[in-house]
């Protein structure tokens, strides 16, 4: 019997081939305890994408800090009744850099922990990606913000790729390889 003669309900006999669908019972099977499991490429790709997201965020913070005076003057012009003092603008820049830097530091540490195989870090990274994607969607939906290279396309692409890589079965199996069932 060849592959073309097989009925669609039959699973392929070649263990290297996977069907286009998988029964729910197979998807719900627990992960096998295997502390010697090799790190899959999906885990490596997910961790590298997280680190690239951190680098992109650092570049964004650098750009914001260099163009802060322009941003503050635009905000001052938009707010007719409020005058932004130079001290207030400097304090705002400090807050943005400190909060953004702390978030990038946490994201980088979580990326390294994901690479090392931490399931909690993998889930938190995926949660951050979901929140970021949701904010991009809400901004697009409510404010009509276009998704371009200058706005949120790069971070959105990183977040989607991180979700695809770290939500794979191989990444989940690697992160849970030490759990006994």
pLDDT in tens, 64-100: 899 888 877 776 666 656 666 778 778 888 999 999 9
Helix (H, G, I), strand (E, B) or coil at 42: helix
- Domains identified in the chain, total number: 1
Confidence of residue 116 (pLDDT cuts 50, 70, 90): very high
CB 156 within 8 A of CB 136: yes
Side-chain-side CA neighbours of residue 106 (13 Å): 9
Please report where in the chains the tokens 């990183």 appear, as a residue: 158
pTM here is 0.75
Could you report how far apart the first and last alpha carbons of the chain are, in Å?
38
Domain of 125 in residue numbering reads as: 39-175
Top pLDDT among 56 and 11 is at 56
Q: Is residue 69 part of a domain?
A: yes
Nearest to 131 by CA among 139, 120, 142: 139
Q: Is residue 70 part of a domain?
A: yes
Q: How many CB atoms lie within 10 A of CB 150?
A: 8
CA distance 5 to 3: 5
| CA-CA-CA-CA torsion sign (75, 63, 156, 174) | negative
Range 100-124 burial, b when 16+ CB lie within 10 A, else e: beeebeebbebbebbbebebebbbb
Identify the top-confidence range among 8-12, 20-24, 151-155: 151-155
Distances (CA, A) of 39 to 47, 52, 85: 11, 19, 53
Q: Is residue 26 part of a domain?
A: no
Per-residue pLDDT tens over the stretch 35-60: 788 999 999 999 999 999 999 999 98
Q: Is residue 28 part of a domain?
A: no
Q: What is the mean pLDDT of residues 150-167?
A: 90
Q: Is residue 6 part of a domain?
A: no
CB 61 within 8 A of CB 101: yes
Q: Is residue 164 part of a domain?
A: yes
pLDDT at 108: 96
């Amino acid at each position: 019997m060849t592959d073309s003669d097989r009925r669609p309900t039959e699973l392929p006999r070649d263990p290297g081939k996977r069907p286009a669908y998988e029964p729910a019972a197979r998807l719900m099977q627990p992960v096998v305890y295997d502390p010697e499991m090799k790190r899959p490429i999906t885990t490596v790709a997910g961790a590298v994408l997280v680190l690239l997201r951190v680098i992109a965020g650092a570049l964004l913070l650098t750009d914001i800090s260099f163009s802060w005076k322009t941003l503050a003057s635009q905000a001052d012009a938009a707010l007719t009744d409020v005058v932004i003092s130079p001290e207030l603008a400097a304090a705002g820049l400090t807050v943005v850099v400190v909060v953004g830097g702390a978030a990038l530091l946490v994201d980088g540490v979580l990326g390294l922990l994901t690479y090392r195989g931490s399931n909690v870090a993998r889930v938190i990274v995926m949660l951050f990606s979901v929140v970021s994607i949701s904010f991009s969607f809400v901004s697009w939906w409510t404010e009509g913000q276009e998704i371009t290279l200058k706005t949120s396309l790069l971070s959105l692409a990183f977040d989607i790729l991180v979700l695809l890589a770290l939500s794979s079965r191989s990444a989940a199996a690697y992160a849970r390889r030490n759990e006994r069932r």
